[in-house]
Amino acid sequence: MGKRKAYTPFSTSSEAGTTTAPVEGYINVDQEVKPTVDTGFLDKQGIWQGHQTSDTSFGIYQKDEAIANGGTILTPSVTPEGAWPLDMTGYNDISLAIKVTNTGAYKIEAVMGPDSVGYANLSPVVAAAGLRIGTDGEPSDEGFYAAFQDAAETLGSADAWYIFSIQGRLRNQKLLQFAITNNSGDISTIETAFMRIV
C-alpha cells in the first residue's frame, strides 16, 4: 500500500476542515494495489464454472492395427468408463497427430461421435455423419459445408508423427470424432492423438 498526492478542486484550508471558496490544492490519497486471479465464474444456476485451459500435451491416444487399404477407422472411441473423451466445449482449435506404418494417402474427416453417447440432451445422434457448419465469411454464404474434410492427405514418412492443426472450424463441438480412411495402397496401422487449444 502506498500514498500519493492527487489534485482536488478544494483549497488547502478544506484539507484542514474549514470551508472557504474552492481553489487549487492537493490531498493525500491512499492507494492499494492487489493482484487478482480469474479462475472462473458462477453460472446462472449458481454453480461454479472454472475457465477452460489448453491441453499441455497430446492425449486421447488410440491405436488401430492392420487397417486394410480402403478401410476406415473412427477415432477416438468411448473410454472404458463409457465417457466421451473428445469434447471441444470451450476450445477453439485442435491439433490432430497421426502416425502410420504405411506411407501414402489418407482421407481425414470430422464426423459426429457414436450414437451410444448423447449430444447435450439429445440422443441418439446420427453416428459418424460428416459434420456440417455455417460460419461468417466464405464459404458460409453457400449454406452449410463440411466442417473439416481432407480427401487425400499424403503421409510420406512411416512410423513418425504428423501433426495437423485445425483452427476454429471445430470449436465447441461436443461429440467430435474423426473418420480416417487408409488409401495408401496397403495395410497400415494408424495411431492418433489429440490436443485441444483454447
Say if residue 131 is in the same domain as residue 76: yes
Say if residue 11 is in the same domain as residue 81: no
Say if residue 15 is in the same domain as residue 63: no
- Beta strand 48-50 with 40-42 is antiparallel
Whether 68 is in a domain gets the answer yes
Q: How far is CA 64 from the centre of its chain?
A: 25
d(CA 148, CA 145): 9
d(CA 198, CA 188): 33
φ/ψ of 13, rounded to 5, equals -75, -25
Q: How far is CA 42 from the centre of its chain?
A: 21
Say if residue 125 is in the same domain as residue 60: yes
Task: Say what the pLDDT of residue 46 is.
Answer: 85
- Give the range of the structural domain holding residue 23, as residue numbers without chain letter: 2-31
Task: Say what the pLDDT of residue 25 is.
Answer: 59
Grid cell listed for 67? 487397417
Say if residue 69 is in the same domain as residue 18: no
Say if residue 72 is in the same domain as residue 168: yes
Whether 36 is in a domain gets the answer no
pTM of the full predicted structure?
0.77
Whether 77 is in a domain gets the answer yes
Say if residue 103 is in the same domain as residue 191: yes
Return the DSSP state at 167: E
How many separate domains does the chain show? 2
Say if residue 138 is in the same domain as residue 184: yes
Say if residue 26 is in the same domain as residue 63: no
CATH code of the domain containing 102: 2.60.120
pLDDT tens profile 87-97: 999 999 999 99
| Bridge partners, residue 164, by sequence | 96
Indicate the helix (H) or strand (E) that contains 50.
Answer: strand 48-50
Return the DSSP state at 136: S
Say if residue 21 is in the same domain as residue 74: no
Task: Say what the pLDDT of residue 12 is.
Answer: 52
Say if residue 20 is in the same domain as residue 66: no
d(CA 73, CA 64): 7
Whether 192 is in a domain gets the answer yes
Say if residue 114 is in the same domain as residue 20: no
Among candidates 82, 144, 157, which has minimal Cα distance to 118? 82
Among candidates 156, 151, 162, 153, which has minimal Cα distance to 95? 162
Give the residue ranges of the chain where pLDDT is below 70: 1-29, 137-141
Task: Say what the pLDDT of residue 16 is.
Answer: 57
